[in-house]
A and B are shown apart, each in its own frame.
Chain A
Amino acid sequence: MTVFTSATPRSLDDPGFREHYLRLVGDGDEYGAIEAVNALLDEGVPAQRIMTDLIAGTQQRVGELWAANEWSIAREHAATAISERALASVAARTHVRPRRGRITIACVDGEWHALPVRILAEMLRLDGWRVDFLGASVPGPHLVTHLHQTGPDAVALSCMISTRLPRAHAAITACRAAGVPVIAGGRGFGPGGRYAEKLTADAWADGAEAAVARLATDWPPPIDDPSTAAFLGDDEYTWVVRGRGELIAATLEHLAATYPHVRDYDQRQTDATAEDTGHIIDFLAAALYVGDDRLFTDFIDWTNAVLTARDVPTQALAAGLRAIRDQLHDWPSSLRMLDAGLARLDPK
């Protein structure tokens, strides 16, 4: 157990405290982490600040540590579990009478990063909202059923990974068709939330505090006819998504022909290669869907950084992109995006 001694940093303004707390969650020290946040509460630090500053801030560091290959995936997951318990502990000590409307909070179907929205849920509760937290990966039909049953004033929809954007679009459209305006959040909506408007979200918020402010001061937005919004995606998008299976198979074959050692992969390695290929294709499809090359090149930059941290040569990713490119010669937008992606990998 962690015992606070005079040597333990106790203030949120002390940078040592954050390091201390990061160690606690990284060690899976549930009791230590809970003690730490409770000590802050006892000292009168506002719960909101603990949530956004400490818990969310630490979680961001955890993500960075994973990306830099300093932490294993198991450690990342364990740390997230501890953060959730610390958050629950903070939440359990704060009581606020609902005085605003009702809000539904969900992660888009296939989206599993629940901690950021859990923090948002608690922040909104503290701000006087009645909150229905539906959790990670909520299928669209479940979300809409919930809206009909509870009739909330807003839906807060989170998407951390851009490949879920088509599903986010379907969910946003369905919510708005049911008469409930949507505030979008999460990195998946692109830098500055650039894809949120395209997907007809009524608002986008850069983080929990911004969402709380927007909902408190400028809500509801004016209602328009949701059916007037244009469809997104084109035949190229449709082709890439529908042909995903064949596209992966053809890419793997191509890789095997170019890199003979691929043929010696066991099932796990083959699975992993197929999964990576699928991942690239999914980002390509999402970029086609919103019609923005940058979605794809941002993904390539990020993937390259993650792979480099794991000593995977840039050439491996480039080979994958080229193998996919060779399957898509009839599709101009895909070619343009893949070429833009390859250009990012080119060491000038």
Chain B
Amino acid sequence: MTERLTLATALLRAALDATSEAVVLCAVDHEILMVNNAAQALAPDLTPGTSAAASPIAALARAVSEGDQTFAAEHDGRQIRGDRRDLGDEHYGWYLQDVTPLEQERARTAFLAEAGRRLASSLNHRRALRTTAELAVSHLADAAVVVLPAVRRRSAWVRLVAGATIDEGSLRDRALGEVPGLIEALGGFPPIPSRWLDAGQAPEWLLPAGFGPIGALLVTPLPGNAEPAGALILARRGDRASFTDEDEMLARIFAARAGAAVAAALLYRDQVDTAAVLQADLLPPELYQPDGVELIGSYQAARDAMRIGGDFYDVFKPTPRSADTVIALGDVCGKGPEAAVLTGKVRQTLRALRLVEVPPPDMLGVLNQALLESGRQHRFVTLVVGSVIRADHGRVLLTLASGGHPPPLVLRNDGTVEEVPTSGTLIGVVPQTVVHPATVELEPGELCLLYSDGLTEARGGPSGNEQYGEQRLREALSSCRDMPGDATVERVRQLVSDWVRGGMRDDIAMLAVRAPTRTRLSLRGGGAPNASPFAIDARRNDKRSRQRA
């Protein structure tokens, strides 16, 4: 019987040792009777003969004394999970599982998901570099340095040490060779395993002085567009620090994502730079400000991100033989970059015509011919060109010619709004154009507004689909009497924006010409006398716009 029992114990032992599941056999009084091989490997400090309630695994001891059926513990760097199963009335067993790989995998997945989200969120190059450093320090190392390939013999870097703020700078490309493995990583060679890199060789400048000795170093390329977008240097502190094979693999997967984000941002930056160069000539110009005349321009592109479109305005300086300032505002049919390119050509043509002193009405004819002969189909332009010159007593004299464009409006000092009676045919459609120019005289404080039809055709209002219309524009202008020119233009913009409630679908260009008030305004009850000697009331009813055949 004793023999059989001994045999049974040995058999039980052998059977338990043969399974890969970790089992700790206990009596009901919690004495540990047997610890199989797998359990011994998982928790070497579990000893038969001792009480499970006093186990060195605190969570186990607690589970035992509180009668719990499961416990989870971190023991000796491992995540252990235990389940209690009763084995008859006298015994029970703890079945232990090493869930460390599972937990690690979860953390890795969460890290890569966060990395994906954060890296994908920005197209900005610098931000992509900073995000890369932040993510690396949050999960992979105590310090991270992102080094970019050298441009003109200098390499830019971004550095972050855990708990500190981001540093940025650049270094001579000669110095790159001082960091083990960096030249290789930037040269597009496969990464060198961390254990082959001597952390002691890392130069002092790599990390801030307070970081202390580097325990382990890992240099990983950031893959880019067929050439590395940079390199990621990871450092861990302490004598026992190392990067395991799993760490290196994770760093490489992360580097692939970071590299793609950095490379995409670089590509975007190159395109933005190119677009900005092309855009520069198409954006509204800084306006030349002639003496004695206020010129105010405003341009609002439809809701695209390029801020360029088919509307334009420009101002051309006097020439040695012509004291006039020439203004132009127009609208090319179509939208977006294609229309913008044509506006660039139109503006350049007008500029050249101005330099050879072609009078504004004749400019329209030449421009018409140029557009017809350029062979571009279905592209026409409407515009107003005019000359501006200051006259005596602070007045300003305009001569305006329209090529199929909405006639400019004039705001008089008494608040009335008049249309400038100029008309003409569209430019770029028929070989022969007809133009009827008109002249306008502005008293000090009066203003002439050139605008594109995006303003009057803006849809909105109570129904959401009603055009703003010329009548509302006239009333809006009328409400601006006594305002400085820029405030007038701003207010009209604002009223139209309120009208469409943010849904601007067309470009809007405005160019205002104003005869400045020569003394300060007295706006109703301000205390200062209205001393303008130029407000000649008798002239109010004069017809100051007359059509020229």
Contacts and interface: CB of A to CB of B under 8 A. Distances in A.
Interface of A: 1, 23, 26-32, 72-75, 77-78, 80-82, 109-110, 112, 136-137, 139, 141-142, 144-145, 147-151, 167, 177-180, 223, 225, 227, 244-245, 248-249, 252, 267-268, 271, 274-275, 277-278
Point out which of B123, B462, B517, B522 has the most chain A C-beta atoms below 10 A from its C-beta. Answer: B462
A82 B487 CA distance: 9
B271 to A, nearest CB: 10
B308 to A, nearest CB: 12
Contact of B463 (A27, A149, A151, A245): A245
A27 B528 CA distance: 7
Contacts of B131: 179
Nearest to B117: A225
Given A75-B482, A268-B475, 18 more contacts: A23-B527, A26-B523, A28-B482, A28-B520, A30-B520, A77-B490, A78-B521, A110-B497, A112-B493, A137-B494, A141-B303, A142-B305, A142-B307, A147-B122, A148-B124, A151-B125, A151-B127, A249-B462
Nearest to B122: A179
A273 to B, nearest CB: 9
Point out which of B114, B123, B487, B494 has the most chain A C-beta atoms below 10 A from its C-beta. Answer: B487
Q: Please list the 10 inter-chain residue pairs (A to B) with the smallest Cβ-Cβ separation, ordered nearest first.
A: A151-B124, A28-B521, A148-B123, A274-B462, A29-B520, A145-B305, A81-B487, A248-B462, A27-B526, A151-B127
Contacts of A73: 479
Given A27-B528, A28-B484, A267-B471, A75 B523 contact: yes
Interface string B118-150: 100111111100010000000000000000000
Contacts, number: 135
Interface stretch (B92-100, B354-362, B432-440, B498-506): B498-506
A74 B523 contact: yes
Interface string B486-519: 1100110110011001101000000000000100
A32 B462 contact: no
Nearest to A147: B124
Contact of A26 (B124, B307, B526): B526
B121 A149 contact: no
B497 A112 contact: yes
B524 A80 contact: no
Point out which of A149, A268, A277 has the most chain B C-beta atoms below 10 A from its C-beta. Answer: A149
A148 B490 CA distance: 28
A78 B487 contact: yes
A179 B121 contact: yes
A225 B491 CA distance: 39
11 contacts: A26-B526, A28-B484, A30-B520, A72-B523, A74-B481, A78-B484, A81-B486, A139-B502, A151-B124, A225-B117, A267-B471
B56 interface: no
A150 B126 CA distance: 9
Nearest to A145: B305
Contacts of A23: 526-528
A150 B268 CA distance: 12
B372 interface: no
Given A27-B526, A137-B497, A245-B464, A74 B122 contact: no
Contact of A112 (B463, B472, B490): B490
B461 interface: yes
B483 A81 contact: yes
Contact of B472 (A74, A141, A271): A271
A114 B334 CA distance: 31
Nearest to A137: B497
A110 B490 CA distance: 13
B74 interface: no
A112 B520 CA distance: 26
Given A141-B303, A274-B461, A27 B522 contact: yes
A27 B482 CA distance: 10
A270 B302 CA distance: 29
Contacts of B117: 225, 227
Contact of A244 (B464, B480, B498): B464
A110 B501 contact: yes
B307 A151 contact: no
B304 interface: yes
Contacts of B502: 109-110, 139, 167
Q: For chain B, what secondary structure do more than half of its interface residues adopt (helix, strand, loop), or is it mixed?
A: loop
Contacts of B517: 28
A74 B482 CA distance: 7
Point out which of A1, A73, A139, A223 has the most chain B C-beta atoms below 10 A from its C-beta. Answer: A139
Given A27-B526, A81-B484, A275 B462 contact: yes
B87 interface: no
Interface of B: 114, 117-118, 121-127, 131, 268-269, 272, 303-305, 307, 461-465, 471-472, 475, 479-484, 486-487, 490-491, 493-494, 497-498, 501-502, 504, 517, 520-524, 526-528
Nearest to B527: A23
Contact of A179 (B127, B272, B464, B493): B127
A148 B268 contact: yes
A1 B528 CA distance: 11
Nearest to B526: A27
A81 B494 CA distance: 14
Given A73-B479, A81-B483, A139 B303 contact: yes
Contacts of B484: 28, 30, 78, 81-82
A249 B466 CA distance: 13
Contacts of A80: 487
Contacts of B122: 147-148, 151, 178-180
A75 B475 contact: no
B523 A27 contact: yes
A27 B487 contact: no
A255 B345 CA distance: 54
Contacts of A74: 479-483, 523
Contacts of A150: 124
B350 to A, nearest CB: 28
Contacts of A75: 482, 523-524, 526
Contacts of B461: 271, 274
A50 to B, nearest CB: 21
Contacts of A31: 520
A149 B521 contact: no
A227 B501 CA distance: 27
B472 A32 contact: no
B64 to A, nearest CB: 40
A277 B124 CA distance: 43
B483 A149 contact: no
B118 A179 contact: yes
Contacts of A223: 118
Contacts of A142: 305, 307
B303 A278 contact: no
A147 B126 CA distance: 11
A278 B498 CA distance: 11
Contacts of A268: 475
Nearest to A268: B475
A47 B213 CA distance: 48
Contacts of B307: 142
Contact of A149 (B114, B124, B479, B526): B124
Contacts of A225: 114, 117
Nearest to B268: A148
A219 to B, nearest CB: 11
Contacts of B475: 268
Point out which of B303, B461, B472, B502 has the most chain A C-beta atoms below 10 A from its C-beta. Answer: B502
Contacts of B528: 23, 27, 29
Point out which of A148, A244, A271, A278 has the most chain B C-beta atoms below 10 A from its C-beta. Answer: A148
B490 A178 contact: no
Contacts of B269: 149
